[in-house]
Amino acid sequence: MTHDGRPAVVLVHGLWNTVNIFWRLRAYLEDQGWGVYAVGLTPNNGDIGIEHQAQQLKIFIEGSLASQQPFYLLGFSMGGLVSRYYMQRLGGLHRVQRFIGVAVPHYGSVLAWFRWNIGGRQMQPGSSFLADLNQDMEQLSVCRPLSLWTPYDLLVLPAHHCRLPIGEHRRLPVPTHNAMLWNPHSLEAIAQGLKV
């Protein structure tokens, strides 16, 4: 818990990213009094499966937060799929108070057809990985998922694949995929989502 009793916020980056992509979001949330943690996943290029990155997330959480401490989980892009695997398959649901998915390819991206490593294959529309994760997504309802997406996303194609059919979703007027982590519209939407 933070000093005022709020749960911590754990940030999970996406493909090719490092924790540095969260610098503006992290500063913004810390200025509002949130305790923020960001996990660095390696390798970050899709050469290992999303399920193995989820194991890294689990190890990070167990090493960074007190046992059974509840927290909020924010996943960006592929990091949202890593987060979902952690919650749906590795027992994280009982600890996550709210899941915020930012520009997450819940139903894949056609651009993944041009990536031939395992992470790329897992993010292809219709992949067995996504089919498995989506067939019991209803269990995510307990962590009140919030999907944030922009119709101008050119990395998740089509952009509406960022919308989960459960929980809340907000379409934001943000010009690019990565700007979803620093555009003022996104920062405000994330902060509002954490306060609910």
What are the helix and strand counts (H, E) for the chain? 6, 6
pLDDT tens digit sequence for 119-162: 999 999 999 999 999 999 999 999 999 999 999 999 999 999 99
Q: What is the pLDDT of residue 120?
A: 96
pLDDT tens digit sequence for 16-31: 999 999 999 999 999 9
Counting residues of the chain whose pLDDT is more than 70, the rounded percentage is 98
Q: What is the pLDDT of residue 1?
A: 46
Which domains are assigned to the chain? 8-195 (3.40.50.1820)
pTM of the model: 0.97
pLDDT tens digit sequence for 179-194: 999 999 999 999 999 9
Residue type (1 letter), 54: A
From 162, 178, 81, select the one nearest 120 (Cα to Cα). 81
Q: Tell me 42's DSSP state.
A: S
